Amino acid sequence: MKKFKITVLKGDGNGPEIVDKTIKVLNAAGNKFDFTVEYDFRLMGGCAIDAARVPLPQETVDSCKGADSVLLGAVGGEKWDTLPGHLRPEAGLLGIRAALGLYANLRPARIFEALKAASPIKAEIIGDSLDIMVIRELTGGIYFGERGRFVKNGEQAAFDTEMYTVPEIKRIAKIGFEMAQKRGGRLCSVDKANVLESSRLWRETVIEMAKDYPDVELSHMYVDNCAMQLVRRPTQFDVIVTSNIFGDILSDEASMLSGSICMLASASLAEGSFGLYEPIHGSAPDIAGKGIANPLATILSVAMMLKYSFNMPQAAQAIENAVNEAMKTARTPDIYEEGFKKAGTAEMGDIVARMILN
């Protein structure tokens, strides 16, 4: 029997309730596919600020480094919005990415068959199916560049610096090429090379790397055009690889093609098999504790964990299949339609867990 150790960061808002049901689903998968999980629960985000006065305690970092992977709920909320930037819950996210070397963010944007009618995109544009993988560089670029404020001509001014090195570009592009090899063989590198020098280096580096991947069809697209094409003709994309800030924006746009942001999982990967897995939605403090939050994105995140960190693709597929089947009969309020059973957080998680075991 395989054994895994996971550090669990339930986070804030709806984080604890969706993580609790996700653990139940993961345990069900363990029973079905003969593995066990040891959980170490730690604090990050607003709950860590309340308890330890910092968004990312050192003991949390230490626990994550000693684990096989990390499961994160969601962090943040209005309660902490007035704190200085380095003490806000979101600082914990940036800090843990840097501390754990999580440089590649994988965000699949797919439409489950049962949820196809919920997509805001017309059926004739979506076609038979839609499955896009957005790969975002996570530890470089403008979010980690030099920044500051100063006085210019007697007025306040501020700056943030976008910078990439060739090694940073190569390692994220490598993920993109290898992912394309495992999927449809097409990689679109997104930049702003007509304006930004960092994007010109990005494009030059990716073009040079393409020589080592003759089986991958490489294309390039400016970020503004990509944003338009995701809505106009999303099926043209297979794998997209891009910078931190562009990936942040485009992956959120792509996520809405699925019909609900509460359906989208993500993986943040380091070298090797280590990763942090989380839904891309926020903590939604307005519905926290009401038992109506959609747990499916977090459940799908552990499916990614099983696939990318634990090398258990059959268990991962079983969770994805169970989610799709569950939505054929029950829906949480955010994806509810007439004719379906309206289910809360706990019930939806229970349904998925039962379908895995059946």
User: Residue with structure tokens 């330890």?
Assistant: 52
Sign of the four-CA dihedral 300, 324, 131, 17:
negative
What number is the average pLDDT over the span 118-145?
Answer: 86
In terms of pLDDT, which residue wins out, 262 or 240?
Answer: 240
Residue 39 bridge partners (DSSP): 6
User: What is the rounded average pLDDT for all residues in the chain?
Assistant: 93
What number is the average pLDDT over the span 230-242?
Answer: 95
What number is the average pLDDT over the span 97-105?
Answer: 94
Task: Say what the pTM is.
Answer: 0.88
pLDDT at 261: 76
What number is the average pLDDT over the span 133-146?
Answer: 94
Angle between helices 296-308 and 15-33 (to 10 degrees): 40
pLDDT at residue 118 tops 90? no
- Contact of 25 with 303, CB cutoff 8 Å: no
Residue 268 CB coordination number (10 Å): 25
- Contact of 311 with 103, CB cutoff 8 Å: no
Residue 189 bridge partners (DSSP): 220, 241
d(C-alpha 121, C-alpha 231), whole Å = 7
What number is the average pLDDT over the span 96-100?
Answer: 92
Catalytic site residues? 143, 192, 224, 248, 252
User: Residue with structure tokens 């003759």?
Assistant: 214
| Per-residue buried b or exposed e for 61-90, using 16+ beta carbons within 10 Å of the residue's own CB | bebbeebbbbbbbbbbbeebeeeeeeebbe
Q: How confident is the model over 240-249, as pLDDT tens digits?
A: 999 999 999 9
Beta strands in 196-329 (DSSP E): 217-222, 239-242, 265-269, 275-279
pLDDT at 115: 77
Q: What is the DSSP letter of 264?
A: -
What number is the average pLDDT over the span 258-275?
Answer: 88
- Contact of 85 with 53, CB cutoff 8 Å: no
d(C-alpha 102, C-alpha 138), whole Å = 7
159-164: Cβ within 8 A, 24+ apart = 162/196, 162/198, 162/243, 162/245, 163/198, 164/137, 164/140, 164/198, 164/201, 164/202, 164/243
pLDDT at residue 119 tops 80? no
pLDDT at 150: 96
